[in-house]
Every structure is written in C-alpha cells, then in structure tokens.
Amino acid sequence: MLRWFFGGRETQSSVEKSGVLCIGEEQPKNCFTELQVLKGHFDIVRFLVQIDDFRCASAGDDGLVLVWNVETGERVQELRGHSQQITAMAVLRCGDVRLITASSDRSLSLWDPDTGNRLQTVLDLQSSVKCILVLEWLSAWISGGQELCVWSKDFRLECLKERHSDTGISSLIKLPKNCVAAAVDKTVVIYKLTASGNALSIVEICCLADHQDQIRALVNVNDAMFASGSHAGELIVWDALDYNVLAYQHILWEEPQTHAAQSNIQTGGPKTSEMSIQHLASNGNLVAAAVGSGVYVFSVATKAAVAYRKCAHDSDVLHIALLSDSELMSCSEDGSVRMWEIGELPLAGEPASPGFFGMWTLGRSSRQACPTSKQTSDAAPNKTLELTGDLIGHSGAVQMFVALPENGLLTCSADHQLILWKNGEKQSCLRSLALFRKLEENGGL
C-alpha cells in the first residue's frame, strides 16, 4: 500500500499478498464507525475493568487509575495514589461498588469510583500483588503474588499463605465448592477456602503439574471445567470438581509438511514464543486462545479445535474475547484489534489456504488417566475463522479491550491512550434524540 507513495506503479493487491492478513478498507460487517480518543494516561495502559454499564476504569504503568464514562467519553474520576505501575485491578461489588488496585510499590488500595476517594490502603506488602480475585459470595477477595492473601471486603487480612517460589502466583480463578485455582509457574494449585465463624482460612488441596512450561493463562470455562494455557502452547481443559485433565492440546503451529516428523520434542520447530498462550477466553462452549500471533478456538464439547489462524496478527496477540459462539475479537502488539467470525467451512475438499497449519494432539496418555482427551484431530478444523474487520487507531500495542453494551468497545494501548469505539449510526441516533430533547428544553430554535 505504501508503494504508490514512492511512485510505484504496482497495484495494491500485490502488496497485500505479501502482507500477513489484510482485509482492506471495505469492511461492511465492521460496525465501529465512530471513535473517541481518551487521553489522560502518561504511560502504557494495561488494565481495563468495567465498573457498571456506563463506567470503566483504566490503569497502567503511570500508577494512575482513571474512571471514564463510556457513554460520553468523559473522564469522571482520577484516582491518584500509587507511586508505581499498577499490577492488578479488580472491581469489588459487595454493597457499594469499589475498586481494588495493586501496584508495584507493594501497596493495595480501595477506591470509591463515585467520589474518587481512597478508602483503604495497605502498604508495605512483602511482595507486589500480581492478581486479584474477588469472591463476592464470601465478601472477600484474594490477592496473589509471592504469597496468597485472603482479605475481607474492608481490607482486613484474613489469612496468608506463603509460597516459596520464584515466580509466585500469576493468575487466579474461582472454582466451585469454595475453591480457587492459582497458576504457579508450571503448576495449577487448588486451594479451598473454609469459613469458620467470622474467620476465613485457606488450605491447599492439590497441585496439578501437567504443564511442561510456565502457565500463562487460566480461565473458567463453565461450572464443570476450567482451562489453562502454557508458554509452550499446551492447552489443558480440567475438570473443575475432580481436577482431572479433560482435554490436552499442544498447539505447535506446525507446517503441514512436518506432519511425518511429529514427536514430543520439536527440534528446529517454531520458537516457543510463537506458540505461547498469552490469553484464554471462554464462553462456556468454546475456549479461545491467543497463541503467539495466532488465534485458536477449541470446543470443549467435541474436545477439538474448531478453527484457528496462525497469523491472525502481525505480532503477538495480547488479549482475546469471545463475543458469541461465532464472534471473536483479538488485540495485538501490532496495534490493531481484529474481529473474527467463526463460519462454516464453505465446502469440504476445498484446499486449505496457505496460511493454514497443522494442529496435533499429542499422545501424552502415559501420564493422563483420561483417554477421552486423546482424541486426535486428524481432520482439519470444521470451521473457518474469517476476518470481518479490524480497528486501527492505536500507535502502540493494544494491551486489552473491554466490550461494552450497545456495541461499544474500549481499548487501551501502549501509546498511553484509550480509544472508545462505537457504532456511528447508533450514536448518531442518540445524538439526534439529545438534540430534540434540548430543542424542547429550549423551546425551539
């Protein structure tokens, strides 16, 4: 596309061929036709949480937490207090809505997003908190770092569990029966919370060590399952009750010609970073994984890949979300957000596009007492992943996004900005509504 600037006479299509994946400028299915650039941060914005239907909070490396009205794009509050970058943020919905933030300055803060007041602060933690999990039904929340701490909603430390590990807890999810799963390096550790009277205590139940590499992502699939993904591209679906492996996929992004030489050890294969699972998302039926710069969709019902794209983005995919059973959204270091549609394969027997690649379920049954997972998917995935649109606006890596009601989308990026994407037509209708309301207030022109 650049070429014509330099005077080249080549047509655009040839340029596009060399690109990874380009949808072009015609995007009829892309409804995001309006955007607002939200400014206020001074450094990379890494976290977004939705407070309620019209508010979101953003936080990042500048230690600043900003609360935005996502309907108007106005900045509602500015929460200042952390001296270093924010490492985790969560919304506490026990009674009034509160915001919990953790920072590298080894402090935790509780904020009132309505007034912007800092209600509680815990300073001088032993280590910085990497993840926060809110347990509404217990009116408590857990922070994970080098140690695992259980806090009451008024910031009282209920109990503390030290872990002697270098990496500490990288992510936490809720499990049924008052259990939580924590990703600690290569293992998933299951803890059980018990409430005796007012006090809460936490006990380690078991440690699942089936991953070969560091676990990067942990996600709840549904009440009976959760999934974890590792740096080496292993995707494991676990039973949430008895902690058995329900499915094991090793995503290798192999080229078709290497089929024959498949083995457990991939020498000279793709670099591990290319198949590192950065993020997982699930809607109960499907698990979507951000694998390297690709996107991978796995069905928990069939325990097989539904669709995938190795080169979904030009760079690593950082965040992924399943909007519905057929819609997928991903954002990447290349600064774009892409929208995907999981569609039926047009016709059987159609040759796979050159961008397609192999996916193999590795026979690791020797260690797995779960034969069902050994369902090798020799057949190509039965659905396609079609790019329906991309959002370009950020000039840095898009760290995260939040899908908002009314077709809205909020993205945050390393370029210190947030962009609020909206459906232009709907917004225009809303504005017209506001116009006539104001007209009525003013009593005419």
Residues 109-168 that bind another protein (CB under 8 A): none
Express the helix, strand and coil content of the chain in percent, nearest 5 each: 10, 50, 40
Shortest CB 405 distance to another protein, Å: 17
Q: How many CB atoms lie within 10 A of CB 351?
A: 6
Supply the DSSP symbol for 185.
Answer: T
**Cβ–Cβ under 8 Å, residues 330 and 317:** yes
Phi, psi of 46 (to 5 degrees): -110, -25
Q: Does 195 bind another protein (CB under 8 A)?
A: no
Q: Is the dihedral of CA 422, 425, 428, 429 positive or negative?
A: negative
Query: Which residue, 221 or 404, has its beta carbon nearer to another protein?
Result: 404
Q: Does 422 bind another protein (CB under 8 A)?
A: yes
Task: Report the C-alpha gap between 189 and 162 in whole angstroms.
Answer: 13
Query: Which residue, 75 or 106, has its beta carbon nearer to another protein?
Result: 75
Shortest CB 397 distance to another protein, Å: 14
Task: Report the C-alpha gap between 158 and 109 in whole angstroms.
Answer: 16
Q: Does 17 bind another protein (CB under 8 A)?
A: no
Task: Report the C-alpha gap between 303 and 163 in whole angstroms.
Answer: 34
In the shown chain, the binding pattern of residues 370 to 409 toward another protein, with x for contact by CB under 8 A and - for none, equals -------------------x--xxxx--------------
Interface with another protein (CB under 8 A), residue from 14, 39, 136, 165: 39
Q: Does 14 bind another protein (CB under 8 A)?
A: no
Shortest CB 297 distance to another protein, Å: 25
Q: Does 268 bind another protein (CB under 8 A)?
A: no
With CB under 8 A as the contact rule, which of the stretches 95-103, 133-141, 364-372, 413-421 interacts with another protein? Answer: 413-421
Q: Does 417 bind another protein (CB under 8 A)?
A: yes
**Exposed/middle/buried for residue 128 (C-beta within 10 Å: 0-12, 13-18, 19+):** buried
Shortest CB 60 distance to another protein, Å: 18
Task: Report the C-alpha gap between 203 and 46 in whole angstroms.
Answer: 32
Q: Does 36 bind another protein (CB under 8 A)?
A: yes
Q: Does 369 bind another protein (CB under 8 A)?
A: no
Interface with another protein (CB under 8 A), residue from 16, 20, 27, 155: 27
Beta-bridge partners for 118: 111
Task: Retrieve residue 111's tokens.
Answer: 């904020």
Number of H helices, E strands in the chain: 3, 33
With CB under 8 A as the contact rule, which of the stretches 27-35, 220-228, 249-257, 398-406 interacts with another protein? Answer: 27-35
Q: How many CB atoms lie within 10 A of CB 428?
A: 13
Q: Does 341 bind another protein (CB under 8 A)?
A: no
**Cβ–Cβ under 8 Å, residues 268 and 254:** no
Rounded to the nearest 5 degrees, what angle is found at the Cα of 81, between the Cα atoms of 78 and 84?
A: 110
Task: Report the C-alpha gap between 199 and 23 in whole angstroms.
Answer: 56
In the shown chain, the binding pattern of residues 44 to 73 toward another protein, with x for contact by CB under 8 A and - for none, equals -------------------------x--xx
Query: Which residue, 83 or 428, has its beta carbon nearer to another protein?
Result: 428
With CB under 8 A as the contact rule, which of the stretches 87-95, 142-150, 398-406, 411-419 interacts with another protein? Answer: 411-419
Shortest CB 68 distance to another protein, Å: 9
Q: Is the dihedral of CA 384, 413, 272, 215 positive or negative?
A: negative
Give the CB-side neighbour count of residue 370, counting CA atoms within 13 A: 17
H helix or E strand, kind and range, residue 207: strand 199-208
H helix or E strand, kind and range, residue 4: none
Supply the DSSP symbol for 83.
Answer: S
Interface with another protein (CB under 8 A), residue from 20, 30, 105, 138: 30
Residues 316-335 that bind another protein (CB under 8 A): 335
Query: Which residue, 209 or 429, has its beta carbon nearer to another protein?
Result: 429
Query: Which residue, 37 or 195, has its beta carbon nearer to another protein?
Result: 37
Chain contacts with another protein (rule: CB under 8 A): 1-2, 4-5, 7, 24-28, 30, 33-39, 69, 72-75, 335, 389, 392-395, 415, 417, 419-420, 422, 424, 427-429, 431-436, 438-439, 445
